[in-house]
Amino acid sequence: MARINSCYTKLASGYLFPEIARRTRIWSAAHPGAEILKLGIGNTTEALPEVLVNAMKAKLDKLSCRDTYTGYGDEQGDTPLREALRDFYKEHYGVTLEADEFFVSDGAKSDAANIQNLFSEDCVVAVQDPAYPVYVDSNVVGGRSSGFENGAYKDLVYLKGDSSNGFVPEPPKEKVDIIYLCFPNNPTGAVATKEQLKAFVDYARANRAVIIFDAAYVSYIEDPELPRTIYEIEGAKECAIEINSFSKNAGFTGVRLGWSVVPHALVCEDGEPDQLHKMWNRRQCTFFNGASNIAQAGGLAALSGEGFAACQELVDYYKGNARIIREGLESVGLECFGGKNSPYIWARCPEGYSSWEFFDFLLDRCHVVVTPGAGFGAAGEGYVRVSSYGHRENVIMAVESIKEGLKK
Ligand SMILES: *Cc1c(COP(=O)(O)O)cnc(C)c1O
């Protein structure tokens, strides 16, 4: 008799995006013909850079010819791509890593969900609040919470971000084993300074904890003082795994390609030296058959000089949108965070509005869909996330509509 993994029943119901879709559907049905402007989901909208498209077409041509066809590649990723990632970290971040410390994957979300599998079920997990939901949900399914109560998962440690700490929390006071960090942050747009990241690295080394660092939005950082990778911090190779993706810089949300860095030097409380690296290698070889070879050809092109420049143009387009949104919202008195080294604007709801109430207001009054902050954790209550992913003309219309709606 098969029995379910009962941890699934502990997941809090009402996943954020289906609930947004439900409310939007109801509103649309009641207002036939009214156009809705979407600044909700963090999904890219602009065409792929031509350099990347050409590289993927060339790969397809090879696959269409018997002499140059290739099937399965290495589970860890194509060697040229892993070497290009190594060279990219060296050239752009001044960080030295080995090519075999890079594991290419089908995206950062899968890696973020799967990585918890390396750790014992009784590890104590700390997450930022608010946070991208996959860190929490994967650990709940992995058995690290005994249930959801009063808006929070039991046994998890929440590191609260708010306006007083600029949405960059301090390391936990208690002893935890695994810490998820995401900078530039989704949803708040906050970016940790080197000093702030160093505090986490020092904590992790002192406690033999492991940091899972999600750097999916690194290409949106423009301030030269801000760290681009956790490995800019001394000692991070001993205590941090970095997860990254081509989704938000190269427009690969649909193409699918990411990577994780699992350093040889990474240690934890009871493992042998190099053990976590070997375990992730083992995990990927057994449970994963490698990322698409077409996507990897595109990723390789994205790391070239020409490809990188084209990707940065794409990033600049979204950052232009972010600026329009932030300036527009601030002009009608909304307090905004993020939107500078990040594609997300984190806006405080007007006095008296909860996240969902302000969501409903913006939908009803302005016909604009945003994301209620409360969907990212209890500390997100009282905020909404406004995404800069969208065509410029739609972003401008949405911002004008919000300005109109909030004036009255
Ligand atoms: C979009 C996003 C990712 C990227 O996920 P992919 O699976 O690579 O598309 C990772 N982390 C965060 C926080 C994100 O917002």
- The tens digit of pLDDT for each residue in 114-157 reads 999 999 999 999 999 999 999 999 999 999 999 999 889 999 99
pLDDT at 15: 74
| Whole-Å CA distances, 269 to 81, 199, 208 | 32, 19, 5
pLDDT at 408: 63
Whether this model's pTM surpasses 0.95: yes
| Whole-Å CA distances, 322 to 81, 158, 382, 391 | 31, 28, 20, 12
Q: Rounded to an integer, what distance in angstroms lies between the CA atom of residue 132 and that of residue 130?
A: 7
Instruction: Find tokens 């990707």 and name the residue.
Output: 311
| Whole-Å CA distances, 181 to 15, 72, 135, 234 | 21, 33, 9, 17
SS3 75: coil
Say which residues have a Cβ less than 8 Å from residue 166's Cβ, sequence separation at least 6.
Answer: 190, 337
- Beta carbons of 301 and 307 less than 8 angstroms apart: yes
SS3 400: helix
pLDDT at 303: 98
Region 197-221: mean pLDDT is 98
pLDDT at 17: 85
Per-residue pLDDT tens for 62-110? Answer: 999 999 999 999 999 999 999 999 999 999 999 999 999 999 999 999 9
Say which residues have a Cβ less than 8 Å from residue 2's Cβ, sequence separation at least 6.
Answer: none
How far does the centroid of ligand 1 lie from the alpha carbon of residue 272, in Å?
Answer: 31
Instruction: Find tokens 């890219």 and name the residue.
Output: 44
Per-residue pLDDT tens for 18-73? Answer: 899 999 999 999 999 999 999 988 899 999 999 999 999 999 999 999 999 999 99
Q: Rounded to an integer, what distance in angstroms lies between the CA atom of residue 281 and that of residue 103?
A: 8
Runs of H (alpha helix) within 291-391: 293-303, 305-331, 355-361
Give the largest Cα separation in the chain, rounded.
68
109 lines ligand 1 (CB under 6 A): yes
201 lines ligand 1 (CB under 6 A): no
How far does the centroid of ligand 1 lie from the alpha carbon of residue 245, in Å?
Answer: 7
How far does the centroid of ligand 1 lie from the alpha carbon of residue 297, in Å?
Answer: 20
Write the DSSP symbol of residue 118.
G
